[in-house]
Structure 1
Amino acid sequence: MDRFRGYIAGLGTSSGVRLVVGHWLDSPFGAFTDVMAEHDDGVRTLLAPSDAVAEYVGGTYRFDRTVVAPVDAVLSASALRVAAGPLRLEVELGPVTVLGRLLEHVPAPLAVAPWWLRAVNPVAGLIVPGVQTAGSAGGGRREFYGVRSIRSLVAATAAWDGADLGQLRRIDPPVKFGFSSVPATPQMVAVTTTILP
């Protein structure tokens, strides 16, 4: 069993580029940050800080290309800043959402238990369309998302290869890296991701 504990931020931009940032405090690879980007033409790019992370994430999700480059990320109480290969991103964090406050009351061991996440998966998709808490990862593995809290994203500045990506937008259409998209509304979740063989 592999566990990744940290944060996932998902956002769209007015250019059509949609971004998913995984900021992991604890994982089989230690602390690291990676970025999944899907452009308006559907091309999916992984930005990974090492070959080992690129191999693991690339074997779990689907990408059209991978860039291995230093990924520098700083998460504060008010913002997330990321410099990764061609991407420069700064996101302003808003308050905890209503759903996020409810999730904070779920006991931690239950919130991340695969059996629980499998049981609540049908309800999760009804509450947040397009989102799943349990599904199939690459290589025949199973994956579970245990979300502990949710914060809204209220503003973002982003550039790809120096070109401005525009203003913060909903994630529309949904991203297609794995079995679940991130929520359409830009937000950052505190999450434990569990991957079973």
Structure 2
Amino acid sequence: MPGRTAPRIGRGHAGRVRLRFDGWIAGIGTSSGTRVVVGHWARSPFGPFTDVMLERKDGHRVLLAPSARTARFVAGTYVFDEVRVVPVAVEAGRGECAVVAPPLDLRFVTGRRGPMGLLLTAVPGPLAARPAWAVLVAPAARALLGVRTHGSAGAGRYEWYGAKDLRPVTEAWGVYEGEDLGSLAPVEPAVRFGFGSTPRRPCLMRVTTTVAVEQSRRAVPVR
């Protein structure tokens, strides 16, 4: 993944700045009922980082973040019942990925991209990253993948998701708090961290996420 670069921050509506996060999101369901969403950000206003959102079978929602700063920002954008600041390590290569964020140890494998992935990679990257494009493709994303590409978030924020690639997750196994999570399963019921969810079929999606933040509440300096 690319190294750290200066954050890309643009201006949207009056009184707001736009923060850009470039990386990938993996959404994985398990036969235990636990659903996991991993966000791995190669470029962000906080530098490279990874966070994990996890919802248990009973609906308990947990955020695992690598620093108090990133935890505050993510928890201010989404909704959780519990927030933990823990080391989060990711190793990825050749279609395999390992995520270690105590008390979570998760491993998964991605397969070859299908028609939707090929379609997404055909869109020029700069275009796919634009919030206006996320709005334009929203009806198709809802119909084909069951996901929303833009919407209101916490603390008066607004988000846009610009997908650039999609690969299926074909295998997954993991342990959370000493409990085996079981085998790979659909992401259902949908996770309830924010306005949208990940696709029902486990997948890894390369994405640019843009968050409009009120200037009086922004968590990072404009540079």
Asked if 1 retains the 8 angstrom alpha-carbon contact of 2:30 and 2:181, the reply is yes
**Mapping 1:111-130, distance limit 5 Å:** 111-129=128-146
Deviations 1:145-188 (A, max 9, x none): 00100011111110001210000000010001011000000000
Q: Letter of the aligned partner of 2:141 in structure 1?
A: A
**Shift >3 Å, 4+ stretches:** none
CA distance in 1, matches of 2:102, 2:63: 10
Unaligned runs of 5+ in 2: 1-17, 214-223
Which residue does 1:48 correspond to in 2? Answer: 65
Q: Name the structure 2 match of 1:95.
A: 112
Measure the CA separation in 2 of the matches of 1:138 and 1:109: 26
- For 1:8-87, list aligned pairs within 5 A: 8-87=25-104
Mapped pair 1:186 → 2:202:
yes
Q: TM-score, normalised by structure 1?
A: 0.97
> Comparing 138-147 with 13-22, which one deviates more in the overlay?
138-147
Confirm or deny that 1:7 pairs with 2:24: yes
Tell me the percent identity: 48
Q: Distance in 1 between matches of 2:42 and 2:212?
A: 19
- Unaligned 5+ segments in structure 1 are none
Structure whose alpha-carbon radius of gyration is higher: 2
1-structure distance, mates of 2:152, 2:94: 33
Shift of 1:141: 1.3
1:196 aligned to 187, 207, 212, which one? 212
RMSD (Å) for aligned C-alpha atoms: 0.8
- Residue 41 of structure 1 deviates from its aligned partner by 0.3
